[in-house]
């Protein structure tokens, strides 16, 4: 059977695959997206939907490995590493720990800030031009502290953000309480990231998928990628549960699943799934006016006209698909300590998703050495929504031969010898 052919075959229909597909269609290419479920059924579905240049500083800072070791002892800690032996996980953790030094973290922060800020400029434009309604609001993101010591501990990062040109202003407790009447009294202080924004992520992916189809692209749902046919240095066709597909170029945007599928092409991808949880409810009353980060328990609160979500936590436990009650309860407990009405009356969804965590906290975007017609767009970790529009722009430039706005070498998978 002859494989169905397109200019670009996109593997994975999450926010990254769909954003890239749309940008490529807009440059006149024919595009087909394959996903084993419905588009947007992975990490792109139930995340917190915040657009956060404020998160430019990576986790690879000095002291993080010790913090993680300490947290390993608590199953409800914001970051949990399952201590069970798993060669892939431990190799990744070792590589991550080796990168926890200030000089590297400063370089990483510059590279992350560049793609976050470019996306911050592009995404609102894309939403208007494509007519995508996803409750986008440039309302800022407020970090709330109930312990003055933890705010003092974050001052170094606040100055670091200023050096990167990212807005962050420190507020007194009474100022924070006046801004957000939904908070319980006793706030020690806050940091307002005025340039951050928010949207409803499931509506974003629905809108992207709709526009991909309207622009002539095809989306093959319920199509699980099983393997590849290759000749020499070329990927000729992708074998799936629904037949074979091929593309002049193949773009792998499989999020946390990338290492599993890329292994079939002899590629070792330095990504581990970083599991996070969210709880979606109806809006409580009073409801926060903007996205909040409850700093000590690391709980993110996002409120839209259509609902309300508590999310976050980071768990390294491999490809474990269970919904961990302890970690869901930690979200509820965190919210109870900060908010007058922490939960909405109607529970709509309890969810988990795998963030594609790259060992150096920079996404992998661009061609690989081993295969002439394969590109990656993956490894966006905690920031896939925030980095999506600039990732799509970069991929479109690399595929069409245009001059990228971003420094493409900084994101190239070849930095890992891939």
Q: Does residue 254 bind ligand FAD (CB under 6 A)?
A: yes
Q: Does residue 270 bind ligand FAD (CB under 6 A)?
A: no
- The Cα 147–Cα 191 span in angstroms is 13
Binding to ligand FAD by CB under 6 A, coded x per residue (else -) over 278-297, reads x-------------------
Question: Residue 175 or 260: which CB sits closer to ligand FAD?
Answer: 260
Q: Does residue 78 bind ligand FAD (CB under 6 A)?
A: no
In this structure, how many other beta carbons lie within 10 angstroms of the beta carbon of residue 345? 10
Among 89, 99, 290, 380, the residue binding ligand FAD under the rule CB under 6 A is 380
**Tokens 């905690």 identify what position?**
382
Q: Does residue 276 bind ligand FAD (CB under 6 A)?
A: yes
Q: Does residue 43 bind ligand FAD (CB under 6 A)?
A: yes
Are 248 and 7 in contact by the 8 Å Cβ rule? The answer is yes
What's the closest the beta carbon of residue 265 comes to ligand FAD, in angstroms? 13
Question: Residue 288 or 356: which CB sits closer to ligand FAD?
Answer: 356
Q: Does residue 118 bind ligand FAD (CB under 6 A)?
A: no
In this structure, how many other beta carbons lie within 10 angstroms of the beta carbon of residue 163? 11
Distances (CA, A) of 141 to 119, 192, 206, 355: 17, 6, 24, 21
Binding to ligand FAD by CB under 6 A, coded x per residue (else -) over 320-359, reads ---------------------------------x-xx---
What's the closest the beta carbon of residue 163 comes to ligand FAD, in angstroms? 22
- The Cα 223–Cα 205 span in angstroms is 18
Pick out residues in 143-182 that bind ligand FAD (CB under 6 A). Answer: none
- The Cα 344–Cα 66 span in angstroms is 36
Among 8, 9, 10, 15, the residue binding ligand FAD under the rule CB under 6 A is 15
Q: Does residue 255 bind ligand FAD (CB under 6 A)?
A: yes
Are 398 and 375 in contact by the 8 Å Cβ rule? The answer is yes
Among 25, 32, 33, 50, the residue binding ligand FAD under the rule CB under 6 A is 50
Q: Please identify, among the stretches 83-91, 135-143, 270-278, 336-344, the one whose residues bind ligand FAD according to the rule CB under 6 A.
A: 270-278
Q: Does residue 17 bind ligand FAD (CB under 6 A)?
A: yes
Q: Please identify, among the stretches 36-44, 88-96, 97-105, 106-114, the one whose residues bind ligand FAD according to the rule CB under 6 A.
A: 36-44
Q: Does residue 59 bind ligand FAD (CB under 6 A)?
A: no
Are 311 and 47 in contact by the 8 Å Cβ rule? The answer is yes
Nearest to 142 by CA among 121, 123, 170: 170
Q: Does residue 413 bind ligand FAD (CB under 6 A)?
A: no
| β-pair partners for 307 | 304
**Tokens 């002539």 identify what position?**
216
SS (H, E, C) 56-99: CCCCCCCCHHHHHHHHCCCCCCCEEECCCCCHHHHHHHHHHHHC
**End-to-end alpha carbon distance in the chain:** 31
Among 168, 279, 383, 410, the residue binding ligand FAD under the rule CB under 6 A is 383
Question: Residue 81 or 188: which CB sits closer to ligand FAD?
Answer: 81
Sign of CA dihedral 363, 230, 25, 131: negative
Q: Does residue 37 bind ligand FAD (CB under 6 A)?
A: yes
Are 314 and 361 in contact by the 8 Å Cβ rule? The answer is no
What's the closest the beta carbon of residue 343 comes to ligand FAD, in angstroms? 17
CA 89 to chain centre: 19
| β-pair partners for 36 | none
Using CB under 6 A, list all residues that contact ligand FAD.
12-17, 34-37, 41-44, 47-50, 224-225, 253-257, 261, 276-278, 311-312, 353, 355-356, 378, 380-386
């Amino acid at each position: 059977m002859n494989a169905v052919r397109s200019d670009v075959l996109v593997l994975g229909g999450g926010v990254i695959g769909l954003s890239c597909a749309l940008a490529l269609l807009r440059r006149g290419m024919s595009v087909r997206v394959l996903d084993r479920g419905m588009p947007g059924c992975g990490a792109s579905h139930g995340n917190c939907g915040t657009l956060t240049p404020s998160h430019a500083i990576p986790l690879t800072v000095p002291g993080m490995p010790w913090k993680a070791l300490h947290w390993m002892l608590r199953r409800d800690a914001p970051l949990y590493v399952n201590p069970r032996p798993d060669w892939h996980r431990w190799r990744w953790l070792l590589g991550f720990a080796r990168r926890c030094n200030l000089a590297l973290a400063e370089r990483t922060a510059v590279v992350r800030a560049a793609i976050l800020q470019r996306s911050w400029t592009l995404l609102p434009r894309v939403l208007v031009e494509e007519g995508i309604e996803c409750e986008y609001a440039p309302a800022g993101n407020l970090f709330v502290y109930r312990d003055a010591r933890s705010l003092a501990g974050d001052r170094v990062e606040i100055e670091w953000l200023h050096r990167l040109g990212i807005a962050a202003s420190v507020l007194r407790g009474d100022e924070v309480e006046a801004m957000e009447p939904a908070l319980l009294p006793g706030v020690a202080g806050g940091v307002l990231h005025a340039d951050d924004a928010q949207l409803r992520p499931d509506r974003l992916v629905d809108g992207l998928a709709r526009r991909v189809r309207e622009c002539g692209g095809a989306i093959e749902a319920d199509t699980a990628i099983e393997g590849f046919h290759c000749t020499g240095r070329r990927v000729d066709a992708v074998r799936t549960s629904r037949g074979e597909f091929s593309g002049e170029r193949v773009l792998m945007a499989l999020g946390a699943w990338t290492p599993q599928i890329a292994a079939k092409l002899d590629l070792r991808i330095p990504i581990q799934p970083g599991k996070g949880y969210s709880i979606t409810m109806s809006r409580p009353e009073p409801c926060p006016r903007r996205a909040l980060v409850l700093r000590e328990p690391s709980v993110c609160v996002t409120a839209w006209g259509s609902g309300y979500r508590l999310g976050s936590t980071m768990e390294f436990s491999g490809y474990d698909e269970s919904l961990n009650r302890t970690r869901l309860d930690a979200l509820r407990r965190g919210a109870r300590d900060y908010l007058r009405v922490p939960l909405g009356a109607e529970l709509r969804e309890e969810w988990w998703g795998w963030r594609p965590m790259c060992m150096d906290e920079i996404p992998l975007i661009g061609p690989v050495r081993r295969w002439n017609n394969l590109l990656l767009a993956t490894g966006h970790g905690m920031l896939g929504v925030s980095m999506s529009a600039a990732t799509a722009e970069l991929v479109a430039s690399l595929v069409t031969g245009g001059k990228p706005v971003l420094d493409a070498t900084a994101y190239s998978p070849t930095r890992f010898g891939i």
